[in-house]
Structure 1
């Protein structure tokens, strides 16, 4: 008698077909309405993902820009603090040079050499400041401008228009075009009031 191949042993393994429930596949639409609804749902999900991506890119760009601004601000403020400290050295050199006699030929040669060295040091210091964006404010002979000048006194001088700067007591400086220190000046009073020049009308048609 033929024996059962499964008798007395483990049952034979039967192939297991994959269940549809294990796959994340949307059910097949049964009508055009369901298909349209599915398309709209996928389009909405796509738009949402694109919006999130754009927002993430914009936020990353903003973070990068803020970091660059912070670095630039720190660099600029660091230069400003250093420049303000160096200006005191420039002021002392300027005072020393302003106290020198006009005729240097009558001075002892050894002293004259020291003076020449101070003058060279002052020129080099001004050159270094300019290379780092620190420039002097124009003052002498200019109309008084409260944005760049600080009036310390008024001087009777009818030879120039009132409000003209006739003496620079302490020079002012700009850094990268922005005021670092206002120039302390003496301003003329009593002269004619400066008025803007009026151009005659043109005869050209």
Structure 2
């Protein structure tokens, strides 16, 4: 056998041995890779992700609850504002009417006498007053006429305080001008005179007998 043939056989054997070794190494590495791919996330990792998801869900739930509460409060405020606007839309107009009503009442009080002209004026004024009262009643405008009632600082304005015999202290004994309410809200306080308790007489000091 020539040297060339021996070298060729040796080279073939070397290549065959190298292929065998490479194949064995590949077979040894393949199970490790497959095992790594099959393992996936650990239980601890899954628990962390679950906790994060629960936290995020709770945050979203809290936001939803707050949003619903804010919308409900906004709805209630809007409803109250609308109701208030409907109730008190006539407030300024009613206040402007009160001086007209006062003038009519004063004119009626001043119309004294038995002449036909005075009687006609009184009849016309009384009819107008009744019409005022009907309109006020329709729009829930209530008069405050507290004669004989206890003084109420929220609805009455005391013009003076007098000692009145037979009147209970802190009661209204005279009404200069009626007050008015619109749906329970004060348009104008009643101007009144309030009774006060009588002053106690000063007792004479005891006489000391210096000779005793």
TM-score interval, normalised by the smaller of the two chains: 0.5 to 0.7
Unmatched runs of 5 consecutive residues or more in structure 1 = 1-27, 194-205
Residue 152 of structure 2 aligns to a residue whose secondary structure is coil
- Say whether 1:30 aligns with 2:38: no
What stretches of structure 1 move > 6 A for 4+ residues in a row?
A: none
Unmatched runs of 5 consecutive residues or more in structure 2 = 1-38, 201-212
Mean Cα displacement is larger for which, 70-79 or 117-126? 70-79
- Please report how far the alpha carbon of residue 58 of structure 1 lies from its aligned counterpart in structure 2 after TM superposition: 2.3
Equivalent residue runs for 1:129-140 within 5 Å: 129-140=136-147
- Say whether 1:183 aligns with 2:194: no
- Paired position in structure 2 for 1:66: 77
Indicate the RMSD between aligned Cα atoms, in angstroms: 2.9
- Say whether 1:107 aligns with 2:107: no
Equivalent residue runs for 1:1-205 within 5 Å: 30-101=41-112, 106-108=114-116, 111-155=118-162, 157-189=164-196
Deviations 1:23-78 (A, max 9, x none): xxxxx953333332332222222212212222222232333333334444444553
Higher helix share: 2
Bigger Cα Rg: 2
Mean Cα displacement is larger for which, 75-84 or 128-137? 75-84
- Please report how far the alpha carbon of residue 119 of structure 1 lies from its aligned counterpart in structure 2 after TM superposition: 1.0
Aligned residues: 162
